[in-house]
Structure formats: structure tokens, C-alpha cells
Amino acid sequence: MMRWLILAVTGCFLASFVSSPVAAQTNKSINERLLLIHAVPSQKGGESEKAAVESVFDGLAEQLTDKGYRVIDKASSEECSMEIAAIHDIDPQINKAASFGLKFFAEYTIFFRTSIITKDNDTGKGALVKVSAKVVDNTSSQIITSKSSDASSSGLTLNDAIAKAGRTAGKKLAANLSGALEKFYRESSKNGRTYTVVVETPVAGRDLFQLLSQLERNSAVSAAKETESGGGKSTFEICYNGKRDQLDRDLLKSATELGWQLQKVRSEGNRSTWKIK
């Protein structure tokens, strides 16, 4: 009888733990949408470099999808890479990568570079693949994290060595990036995530700052500021502890309290545009 009682108590304890918010949060996968873009050099590399890029991409995609992220297909990523190829300055590249990310409804873009050293002689076939990457917030064009990794391998053929080294380097890099992203999510959940809200009005002289002041009364808003104003339009940056759809509802509620009617014009990433009807 005592043994059955102990088993029952233990079962209840485990059930409560699995259903607890902490356990749910631990098991919850991150399903953000990611665009992987390779920074194509001004002078295109040879077949070895192309093979390295493809294998790194495959390694990144495998590791990130296993982590629960949604990765945009390779063909779309290659299209973006080719359009960025003519830009040499790093800032325009990051801005361009962010704009492509928004085009494909991705929250973040992983902007990566590769380099390769090969050995192809009578003593053997080998390759060393180095890769570095930046994670760009597509809404703000800000760099979230920057990491690098490398891997070496040998093979019966040079292509085999490159494929194995590139894939391993990509998986190692993805593990580093996902760790940094998960830390960013935890901090965002604690301190609030930054959203950009653009509000337009056809009524001249209307003070759009009133909407921000009304929204600040919400306990989920930890910080808010106006970053641009003029021409019947205001841009707000809002640090909000919740999802974007929750912020949308609070924004509509604040507008109603002011006697205004808001209509969403468009939404991309963490940025939304609204118009007062």
C-alpha cells in the first residue's frame, strides 16, 4: 500500500512539473523565420568556394531547423545574395539584407561570409572552411550578434573534404548563433521587445503624441519614445513586454480611449504602420 502511495505522489509531482509554466517555457521551440544570405565577394570565387558556401548553408539550415527555426528556401537566399553582390560597404549590405528579410516576412537575417583553404596533392585531399556571420534584426537593421567558427576535414576527393568541413562549420556556427538568439529572447521577454509603430493622420494639427502618452499607461509598456514627427506622421519606438498582436490590441484600445479610429495599413517584422480614419 505504501509503495502505491509513493508512486501516486511521484506521478502527481511529475505531472505538475510538466504542466508548469517553467517546463512549458523550456520545451517551447523558437519558430522565428530566418533568411540566410551569403555575402558574395566582389570577385566571385571558384568552384571550391561555391561548394563551401553550399555546404555551410546546409549545415546552418540543418542545425537551425532542428532548433525550431523556420529557414527560407535556398533559391530565395541565393537571389538575395546576388542582388547584394555589387554593394561593397558593410552598412548598405546590412540594410539591404534587412530589407530582403522583410520582403520574405523574416524576423531576422543571418548574413554570413566564408573563406576556404584547400590541400590537393599526392599526400591527400583536405579543406579548412572558416565562416563568420551577423544576425540582423530586419525591423531596425541592428546587429543582434556576431559569431564565427571553422572546421577542417579530409576526404577521398577535394569536394568530399569541402562538403564535410563546410557542413560542420555551418552547424557549429548555427549552434553559437542560436545560443545568442535565445539569450536575446530571454532578455526581451524580461525587459520587453522594441516595436516600431508609424501613425499617420489626415487631420492637420492633430497631436499624435497623445496616442503614445495614452499607451504608456499600459503596464506592459516599459519605455516609449517618439523618434520622428512631421507631415502628419509620427514614428514611435515602444518597448513592450508581449507579442506584436497584443501590442496591436492595446494600441487600438488607446486610440479608442482618445476617440480615434485606427486602421492598420501594413505590418512587417516588428514594424507596423497605422492610419487614423
Q: Give the model confidence (pLDDT) of 24-55 as tens digits.
A: 333 344 678 899 998 765 445 588 888 999 99
Distance CA 184, CA 80 (A): 26
Q: What average pLDDT does the segment 55-68 reach?
A: 94
In 3D space, the residue among 114, 167, 178 whose CA is nearest the CA of residue 145 turns out to be 178
Can you tell me the distance from the alpha carbon of 176 to that of 170, in angstroms, rounded to the nearest whole number?
A: 10
pLDDT computed for residue 99 by the predictor = 79
pLDDT digits (tens, 9 = 90+) for 103-150: 787 888 999 999 999 988 878 889 999 999 999 888 777 888 999 999
Average pLDDT over residues 253-260: 93
Q: What is the DSSP string of 9-29?
A: HHHHHHHHHHTSHHHHHHHPP
Q: Are 69 and 178 in contact (CB under 8 A)?
A: yes
Mean pLDDT of 261-271: 84
Higher pLDDT, 157 or 8: 157
Q: Encode 132-148: b = buried (16+ Cβ within 10 Å), e = exposed.
A: bbbbbbbbbbeebbebe
Q: Domains of the chain, with CATH numbers?
A: 30-190 (3.40.50.10610), 192-276 (3.30.1360.210)
Average pLDDT, integer, range 244-264: 91
